[in-house]
Chain A
């Protein structure tokens, strides 16, 4: 297998005054979809936030393609190619769809103005609905449209790694499928690496190349979806009886 693109070792992070991550080891390889599953409060969102620089690391080390990024602020991390699509989408109700996309490419904007304008075509190509919604305000969009916008905004940074926090939350199965297909196309076309946090284990298992299971701030299990499905505890805890990988 190829060398890892992102390497996390011994990561300890707090959210407020509570330590949420107690030493996380994780790696992501180029072009793979890595799913992180686990119960509520396991620290999955905090892990994504800590990688993105939103929550400072108290201990441990994060490297991107060998380069240490531990302790860098969020605005520096995104410049290096890690883009966060946060939980509950965090779409701005008072900004238009186009403004969201342009802001996502902001850090290249001053020097590459026309390039960023042209880049808008990428998320619009992946989610054509964003083109129809161009002038609409973020607050007027449906949940699925907001999720597409949040992902599109994240892609505008031209990331090497997309951190995706619960994209399926509150969405119908058709839209989840559209988003999953889009991720798969991106991975094939652009070699994008995706780290996906999901409560919807079924969707995560169907999409991911590898899966890590988090519980109470630690990674307790990792493997391919097939390996995890063979694991009796996982199947019982997350999938219920009678589930098969074909779903």
Chain B
């Protein structure tokens, strides 16, 4: 029993990481119908930059704050300089551009940080296991769960209770109508894109002590995040949240119980959800 509870906690921690990734990807898609294929790249860069930042400053916490800000700025530049000129073209052109950036990020990382698997020590104070359920559990993972829950709560309040949030929701549900009300939807999108990049970067920083970072982690993460977004429903925050927790648990239990079939189990869950609800758990009507 304890084994299952601990695995459930591990799955919860992984699910919270996925949520940080899925929230941004899902909102970006909901607003502009652009699948940001560079999203995994932001995650990977977040982890690598955290390594360098910790080496440089000696503090995990400085890295956890500075790296997302830097990647938010990179996301802003990517959207403003490269994506914006493509809005008159098809979505395929826009998606191809983000795919190109995914490769650029991938090669840059391999060139600068090398091809070895690297990992980051948890910050002091969170580097021990604490007694839990008659055994021991890494306190850092509990921190990840708490941080993810806090971010989810903050996002939920920000989207649900603020004017900016109302604008984003209005834009996701009906972009043309939002524009007709005088909302500069392009600016809202730039903001959401940059914010999504920062969240993905934060996920990378937070994940580095658990999962480590290595070449290819960007595309691996992108695929899992896409599965989450499809399962949860595009453009909905509750969908990203519950989809993340579901896939986090399924992946964790899959890897411990049927390791040779772990990825298959995740895909099976996705297929099952799509059969029952083709627009995802929380998705609305297809547009």
Contact residues of A with B, CB < 8 Å? 52, 54, 73-75, 78-79, 84, 86, 90, 92-95, 99, 102-104, 106-107, 109, 153, 157
Given A90-B177, A102-B163, CB of A107 within 8 Å of CB of B183: yes
Q: Is the CB of A52 within 8 A of B180?
A: yes
**Separation in Å of the B21 CB from the closest CB of chain A?**
23
- A92-B170, A153-B181 are known contacts; what are 5 more A-B pairs with Cβ within 8 Å? A73-B179, A75-B180, A75-B181, A86-B180, A99-B166
Contact residues of B with A, CB < 8 Å? Answer: 163, 166-167, 169-170, 173-174, 176-185
Q: Given A95-B166, A109-B163, do A103 and B173 touch, yes or no (CB 8 Å)?
A: no
Contact between A93 and B181 (Cβ–Cβ < 8 Å)? no
Interface residue from A73, A84, A90, A94 paired with B169 (Cβ < 8 Å): A94
Contact pick for A84, options B163, B180, B183, CB 8 Å: B180
Q: Could you list 29 examples of A-B contacts with CB < 8 Å?
A: A54-B176, A54-B180, A73-B179, A74-B176, A74-B179, A74-B182, A75-B182, A75-B183, A75-B184, A75-B185, A78-B180, A78-B182, A84-B180, A90-B174, A90-B177, A92-B170, A92-B173, A92-B174, A93-B173, A94-B169, A95-B169, A102-B163, A102-B166, A103-B166, A103-B178, A104-B181, A106-B181, A106-B182, A107-B181
CA separation between A102 and B166, bound complex, in Å? Answer: 9
CB distance from A47 to the nearest CB of B (A): 15
**Smallest beta-carbon distance B162→chain A, Å:** 10
Chain A nearest Cβ from B221, distance in angstroms: 29
In the complex, the answer to whether A103 meets B167 with C-beta atoms within 8 Å is yes
Q: What residues of A have a CB within 8 angstroms of the CB of B184 in the complex? A: 75
A223 to B166, CA, bound (A): 43
Q: Interface residues of A: mostly helix, strand, loop or mixed?
A: helix
Chain A positions within 8 Å of B182 at CB level:
74-75, 78-79, 106-107, 157
Give Cα A98 to B184, complex, Å. 20
B181 touches A86 (CB 8 A): no
Q: How many A-B residue pairs have CB under 8 A?
A: 61
Taken together as a complex, chains A and B put the C-alpha atoms of A92 and B174 apart, in Å, by: 8
Give the docked Cα–Cα distance between A56 and B166 (Å): 27
| A102 neighbours in B (Cβ, 8 Å) | 163, 166
Interface SS, B side: helix
B169 with A74: CB separation less than 8 A: no
Most A C-beta atoms less than 10 A away, residue of B170, B182, B184: B182
Whether B169 lies near A106 (C-beta < 8 A) is no
Q: Is the CB of B180 within 8 A of A103?
A: no
Residues of B within 8 A of A106 (CB): 163, 167, 181-183
Distance (whole angstroms) from the CB of B168 to the closest CB of chain A? 11
Which interface residue of B167, B170, B181, B184 has the most chain A CB atoms within 10 A?
Answer: B181
Residues in A whose Cβ lies below 8 Å from that of B166? 95, 99, 102-103
Say whether, besides A75-B184, A75-B185, A109-B163, A103 and B170 are in contact (CB < 8 Å). yes
A157 close to B181 (CB less than 8 A): yes
Residues of chain A within 8 A of B173, CB atoms compared:
92-95
For the complex, give the distance between the alpha carbons of A54 and B179 in Å.
8
- Return the 5 tightest CB-CB contacts between A and B, nearest first: A107-B182, A78-B182, A74-B179, A90-B177, A99-B166
> Chain B residues near A54 (CB, 8 Å)?
176, 179-180
For the complex, what is the distance from the CA of A86 to the CA of B174, rounded to whole Å? 12
A31 to B181, CA, bound (A): 22
Q: Smallest distance from the beta carbon of A153 to chain B beta carbons, Å?
A: 7
Shortest distance between the CB of A202 and any CB in chain B (Å): 28
User: From B165, which residue of chain A is reached at the shortest CB distance?
Assistant: A99
CB distance from B171 to the nearest CB of A (A): 10
| C-alpha gap A86/B185 in the complex (Å) | 18
**Which residues does chain B contribute within 8 Å of A79, judged by CB atoms?**
182
Residues from chain B with a CB closer than 8 A to the CB of A75 are 179-185
Q: Which residues on the A side are within 8 Å of B176 (C-beta)?
A: 54, 74
Give the docked Cα–Cα distance between A99 and B161 (Å). 9
- The answer to whether B177 touches A86 (Cβ under 8 A) is yes
B78 nearest CB across to chain A (Å): 23
Known: A92-B174, A102-B163, A109-B163. A78 touches B181 (CB 8 A): yes
The residues of A that contact B181 with a CB separation of less than 8 Å are: 75, 78, 103-104, 106-107, 153, 157
What's the Cα separation between A226 and B185 when bound, in Å?
44
